[in-house]
Amino acid sequence: MSHAADIALIDRFLEMMAAEAGASRNTLLAYQGDLIAASEVLGGRLGAAKPEELGRLSSEWADLANSTLARKSASLRRFFGFLADEGMRKDDPSSALARPAARRALPKILSRDDIDLLFAEIEIRLQRAGDLKRPLRLSALVELLYGSGLRATELVSLDVRAIVSDRPYAILRGKGGKERLVPVSDRARFSVARWVDVRPTGTSWLFPSGKSHLSRVRLFQMIKELARDAGIPPERVSPHVLRHAFATHLLEGGADLRALQTMLGHADIATTEIYTHVDSRRLVELVERAHPLVDAAARRS
């Protein structure tokens, strides 16, 4: 099999990922890069590679970080699975690929007391400010980060019509161009409405800045400054950490994991499980309280 043949197979695989799996452009580029690099290592024999040949890839990748190795191995497993499913190969050699014991680091955690400190600092700023524009903007930003679980990019690029005062949800276009509904609380809508009353006009952005919208970098800076003034180490707080707090605190309050997956815009429920780091003690208590076999055992005793 030639390198050109490998490229043809990779292109067919990417077409499938785009059409059937709805993979985003960045995801497709990552798959493409991993597969072409592997093909080059194997001299254009990736599509026909035998298990022992895949061992060369493991040697080639020996010095890579575990997370990178895990991604490359996952790309190849999906590729070979596609070839087998489509009848282009009679076997799937991907079992020969390395399986690094990579784990995602748990996200930084903010307690409810920490969140209270952030909002208390915002209230102080609102009471002290002569010009309310900046504290009102900050209030709306934090309410949407923590109250709706928005990603930083989703938040700063919101259209001014996205949050409506009489509608308890917003429709967002997130990763991969996929739309989803996110909840918008009464207090978040109130904060946004107060901000809209004073925001600069002449632009469609909810959070305008110059000729465009507020940048992610500036949002990060604002959240760090807020944390510092609230007495929380700034390195513990970011827009992503506030999104994580939204998920964690909802789950701790009894939210359904599938509903949370939808609100966060995760394609894979496993991502939600890692993101929310449910503690085992609470899950055990849930089983003991709700499982029918527990009730049966209690009746027999």
> Residue 200: which region, alpha, beta or left (left: phi > 0; alpha: psi -120 to 50)?
beta
pLDDT for the residue numbered 32: 92
| pLDDT for res 208 | 95
What distances in angstroms separate CA 26 from CA 17, 31, 33, one per listed residue? 12, 9, 11
Catalytic residues: 151, 175, 240, 243, 266, 275
Averaged confidence pLDDT in the chain: 82
Stretch 271-293: mean pLDDT: 58
Query: Is the CB of residue 44 less than 8 Å from the CB of residue 1?
Result: yes
Percent of the chain with pLDDT over 70: 79
Rounded CA separation 276/149 (Å): 12
Per-residue pLDDT band at 250 (split at 50, 70, 90): confident
CB count, 10 Å around CB of 33? 12
Half-sphere exposure of 171 (CA within 13 A, CB side): 4
pLDDT in tens, 286-298: 566 676 765 555 5
DSSP string, the chain: --HHHHHHHHHHHHHHHHHTS---HHHHHHHHHHHHHHHHHTTS-STT--HHHHHHHHHHTTTS-HHHHHHHHHHHHHHHHHHHHTTS-SS-GGGGS------PPPPP---HHHHHHHHHHHHHHHHH-SS-HHHHHHHHHHHHHHHH---HHHHHT-BTTSS-TT-SEEEEE-GGG-EEEEE--HHHHHHHHHHHHHS-SSSSBSSEETTEE--HHHHHHHHHHHHHHTTS-GGG--HHHHHHHHHHHHHHTT--HHHHHHHHT-SSHHHHHHHHT--HHHHHHHHHHH-HHHHHHHHH-
Could you tell me the domains of the chain? 3-96 (1.10.150.130), 112-282 (1.10.443.10)
pLDDT at 14 over 70: yes
The pair of three-digit structure tokens given for residue 29, joined into one six-digit string: 């580029």
pLDDT tens track for 177-234? 677 778 888 889 999 999 999 999 889 999 999 889 999 999 999 999 999 999 999 9
41-96 pLDDT per residue, tens: 888 888 898 888 887 787 778 777 777 888 888 888 889 888 988 889 888 888 88
Would you state the pLDDT for residue 102? Answer: 44
CA-based radius of gyration for the chain: 24
What is the mean predicted confidence (pLDDT) over 1-25? 83
- Give 140 or 182, the one with higher predicted confidence: 140
